[in-house]
Structure 1
Amino acid sequence: MSRGTTAEQAPRHTPGRSPKGERTRQRLLALAQEMLAEGRALEVTALAERAGVSASVLYRYFDGKDGLVAAVVHAFYDEYDAAVFSTPAGPGRGWLEQEALRIEREVAFLYRHPLGRAVAAGLLHEPAATRADAERQRVHEAAAARNIRRAQRAGELPASIDAGLAGAVIIGALRSALGEALGRAAPPPEAAVGEMVQAVGETVLRSRLAGD
């Protein structure tokens, strides 16, 4: 993903909504993303002025300001999941290799997406954004746990590992590391962050391997 990626670049036509209406909705999403990426509170009046519509138009497409904010965060995570979890790792890779590639993709996505810094560094101050972010992080933790269980069934990881706890630790370490990195005026190289998170994950898993 490039720095220019925005919620406006992938409009989805909704049955019953005109093409013009869909463009207006996507425009509101894109402008709201810009405001949130800047660490600003979302002001409906200011957003409507930038979009060239009346403030009441927002309520035609979203469940108020909170609905718009949540839609922006969920759109961000939909792109995140498509870039990281829905992209095949390629044949012939062991579980640890696939995990390293996944971490590399996650770091790259958050570094490059316009909203990545605000999400990772905790700069989304809207309550609806915080709720949506927490919801999607729980989804990622569950996905990480399923990923570990698949490795256990394949015999690549021992059954003694608590997949739920390990998944939460790995996702939490990733988010903490990215929050620190992207919160800096000059973030460290992506590779350094990825290697650190991968080392933490391997330490968590190998602490169980050593005990078996």
Structure 2
Amino acid sequence: MARAPLGRQQLLDAARAELVAANGVVDLNALKRRSGLSTGALYHHFGSKAGLLVAIYEEFHAGLVAAIADETIADERGWAARERARTRNFVAYHLADPLAELLLGRISTEPEVAEVEAATLERIIESAGRNIRSGQESGELDASIDPELAGACVMGALRHGMAEQLRRHPRPSIDQATEGLWRFIAAAVGVNPAATPAPW
């Protein structure tokens, strides 16, 4: 992914670090000290502090989309094997980002971020519905399942399930977290989780 212009990227990096250090709070004075840039630079690049938070969320989501893209699971055979691998990529991405817990929790309650997140989730749910429908068309999933409803339920559960995993101390491993989430997904779409043993 191409990096943003220097001043903009400095602010993004500084804001991410400040959010982690201050448990989801961005103080403008602290951001100025950490980035070495003025408040004017913030307004120039993002319009407001809320705009900065939205940009952080959008950057996080773009990375997530890349991490779970079809290209990352192209070698897997069969719907269940591909989706289990995609679930593992989803888990690994969240566990690797120190900001993930805050983005799924406190920061997502900011009105501007919540609005962007709602639109993002809508796109993801539509994609999940198409994905489930493709599994039905290939004969791998029960044709009686409503794909759009199942996609919405699965993605909502994945988001909140991942947030729960991130809150646990100690945190589960990638494999442990994947297993818990995959069992739910498999049950929701009528796949026997034992029929898709973990490849790791």
Which TM-score tier does this pair reach, normalised by the shorter chain? 0.7 to 0.9
Aligned to 1:34: 17
Q: Aligned runs of 1:107-126 on 2, under 5 Å? A: 107-120=91-104, 122-124=105-107, 126=110
Give 1:55's aligned amino acid: T
Report the CA distance between 1:123 and its aligned residue.
Answer: 2.9
Instruction: Give the counterpart of 2:180 among 179, 182, 196.
Output: 196
**Cα gap change, 1:70 to 1:86, in 2 (>3 Å):** farther
Superposition pairs of residues 61-210 of structure 1, within 5 angstroms: 61-91=45-75, 93-120=77-104, 122-124=105-107, 126-206=110-190
Alignment CA distance shift 1:80-1:94 (3 Å): same
| Correspondence for 1:11 among 3, 10, 31 | 3
What is the distance in 2 between the residues matched to 1:153 and 1:190?
31
Q: Does 1:56 align with 2:34?
A: no
Shift of 1:27: 0.5
Task: For residues 111-165 of structure 1, give each alpha carbon's deviation from its aligned partner in whole angstroms, at most 9, with x where no partner exists.
Answer: 0112222223x13253333333333222222211111112222222233211111
2:64, 2:90 within 8 Å by CA — same for their partners in 1?
A: yes
User: Which of 16, 23, 35 is residue 6 of structure 2 equivalent to?
Assistant: 23
Percent sequence identity over matched residues?
Answer: 32
Q: 1:149 to 1:108 in 2, by over 3 A?
A: same
**TM-score, scaled to structure 1:** 0.80
Ranges in structure 2 where 5+ consecutive residues have no aligned partner: 192-200
Distance 1:35 1:129, change over 3 A: farther
| Number of equivalences | 189
Structure 1 residue 97, shift from structure 2 partner: 0.5
CA RMSD of superposed structures (Å):
2.0
Q: TM-score, normalised by structure 2?
A: 0.85
Instruction: Kindly indicate whether the alpha-carbon contact (under 8 Å) linking 1:42 and 1:126 is maintained by their aligned counterparts in 2.
Output: no
In the alignment, the residues of structure 2 paired with residue 131 and residue 36 of structure 1 have an alpha-carbon distance, to the nearest angstrom, of 20
Unmatched tracts of structure 1, length 5 or more: 1-8, 13-21, 208-212
In 2, are the aligned partners of 1:141 and 1:171 still within 8 Å (CA)? yes
Deviation per residue, 1:146-191 (Å, 9 max, x gap): 1111222222223321111111121122222221111123112221
Counterpart Cα distance in 1 of 2:141 and 2:129: 12
